[in-house]
Amino acid sequence: MDINNKARIHWACRRGMRELDISVMPFFEHDYDTLSDDDKRLFVRLLECDDPDLFNWLMNHGTPGDAGLRRMVQLIQQRNRDRGPVAM
């Protein structure tokens, strides 16, 4: 997926699982444009992971084996914590 195709990335962020939607969508909407190209690639790679894995990682029920994906999960969690609760 092209890191500059924001419409497609936005679509990929919509997971259909509320817990994932409230973690991934706000990060995309508020933080994606501020990421480096390398971090954008990592984010897109993360979106290509299976929902159960993504859910477990974002809910702290495990961590990705890949160091880059692990860092991206931590970044999403930190930015979402800093931003505070969102209404969906």
Q: Is the pLDDT of residue 26 over 60?
A: yes
Of 87 and 42, the structure prediction assigns the larger pLDDT to: 42
Q: Is 24 exposed, middle or buried (0-12, 13-18, 19+ CB in 10 A)?
A: buried
E strand or H helix that includes residue 34: none
Q: Is the pLDDT of residue 29 over 80?
A: yes
Confidence grade of residue 1 (pLDDT, cut at 50, 70, 90): confident
Confidence grade of residue 86 (pLDDT, cut at 50, 70, 90): low
Long-range own/partner contacts, residues 57-64 (CB < 8 A, 24 or more apart): 58/19, 58/20, 58/23, 58/24, 59/19
Which domains, from first to last, does the chain contain? 6-83 (1.10.150.250)
Confidence grade of residue 2 (pLDDT, cut at 50, 70, 90): confident
pLDDT digits (tens, 9 = 90+) for 50-62: 999 999 999 999 9
Amino acid letter at 11?
A: W
Closest CA to 82 of 10, 9, 7, 31: 31
Sign of CA dihedral 64, 66, 71, 75: negative
